[in-house]
Amino acid sequence: MGKVQSIDRAFTIMDAISASDLGITELAERVGMPKSTVARLVKTLVELGAVERISPGSTYRIGPRLSGLSAGRGRGVELVARARPHLRVLADELGEDAGLAVPDGNRVHYIAQEDALNNVVVRDWTGTLLPMHVVPSGLVILAHWPPDQLDSYIAADPESYTRYTVTDPRLIRKRLKSICTKRYAWVTDEFVEGISSVASPVYDGRMRVLGAIHVHGPSYRFPGSSDRDAIAASVVEAAERVSIALPVDSGHPGRR
């Protein structure tokens, strides 16, 4: 069976970038491909997190998703095992589904969920990958990114999923600053209209963000008449318990 040309070209581009940070023009010359082809493939690789742009310049380097693929699975399994009992307690306490998500390149990856005993439930999002800015799990992770990586993400024109999605760079930065102070984020109707969610970060022993604990439910009842701050406090506490339960040398499953 012959090689798939686009995949072969993508690996050629990543091989060149792994040797040194390159711009589109220089990269096209290095790999011997048309500049338009290289630009299109690099754009796709950036969207997948395999390559990232070095802000504020126009050069590219290998992205965090590739470096974390092999090691990330083992650490993800460990994180799920430590988090699941706390997700169960949280789901029982708040009466809504509780989940765990980790960074995966420029997206957040839902890797576990514990369902609440409720007649009307939101679907299980396990296995789903979403842009960081549309869900609270992504926002609390994004809030802890280094400035250059955050700049690159925002410069990529965050997509709007509903009429309520916050995409304005100034508002995103203001929101992330608040999240760093509060240690939680609420999102209502921004990914899917009719769903509200709140999340808090999980840290390793060196206070690096490994992922996030979240609780979500239908917007008409969650939070409903309940105190949003009190609900958030329960989620923050659960995330703290998971952080404490992790081994001191627990590695970072997502970003470098």
190 and 82 assigned to the same domain: yes
Read off the CATH number of the domain in which 20 is found: 1.10.10.10
> For position 143, what pLDDT does the model report?
96
Question: Is 184 domain-assigned?
Answer: yes
Using the Cα atoms of residue 204, residue 181, residue 112 and residue 87 in order, give the sign of their dihedral: positive
Contacts (Cβ under 8 Å, ≥6 apart) of 139: 132, 133, 175, 176, 179, 185, 187, 199
- If one counts the domains in the chain, the total is 2
Residue that is last in its domain, among 29, 44, 62: 62
The pLDDT of residue 206: 80
Q: What is the pLDDT, as a whole number, of residue 250? A: 53
Looking at the fold, whether 82 and 160 belong to one and the same domain comes out as: yes
- Whether residue 254 is contained in a domain is answered as no
If asked whether residues 93 and 189 sit together in one domain, one would say yes
What is the pLDDT, as a whole number, of residue 141?
A: 96
Query: Cα–Cα distance between 31 and 33 in angstroms, integer?
Result: 6
Residues 199 and 237 in one domain: yes
pLDDT of 123 reads 62
Q: Are strands 59-62 and 22-23 parallel, antiparallel or unpaired?
A: antiparallel
Mean pLDDT by 10 residues, the chain (256 residues): 71 84 89 92 85 75 61 64 92 94 90 80 74 96 93 92 95 95 95 94 89 94 88 96 78 44
213 is a domain residue: yes
Last residue of a domain, which of 24, 47, 62? Answer: 62
Residues 27 and 77 in one domain: no
Residue 220 structural domain: 68-245
Which pLDDT score, from 0 to 100, does residue 249 have? 56
- pTM, full prediction: 0.69
| Whole-number pLDDT of residue 239 | 95
Q: Is 50 within a domain?
A: yes
Domain-embedded: residue 203:
yes
Q: CATH code at 189?
A: 3.30.450.40
- The answer to whether 86 touches 241, Cβ cutoff 8 Å, is yes
**Are 37 and 87 members of one domain?**
no
Q: Are residues 15 and 126 in the same domain?
A: no
Quick one: 43 and 156 in the same domain?
A: no
Q: Give CA–CA dist 67/109, Å, rounded.
A: 16
Nearest to 83 by CA among 255, 196, 245: 245
What does the DSSP assignment read for 150-202? HHHHHHT-PPPSSTT----HHHHHHHHHHHHHHS-EEEESSSSTTEEEEEEEE
**Among residues 175, 189, 114, 188, which one has the least CA distance to residue 140?**
175
Supply the pLDDT for residue 254: 44
pLDDT at 133: 96
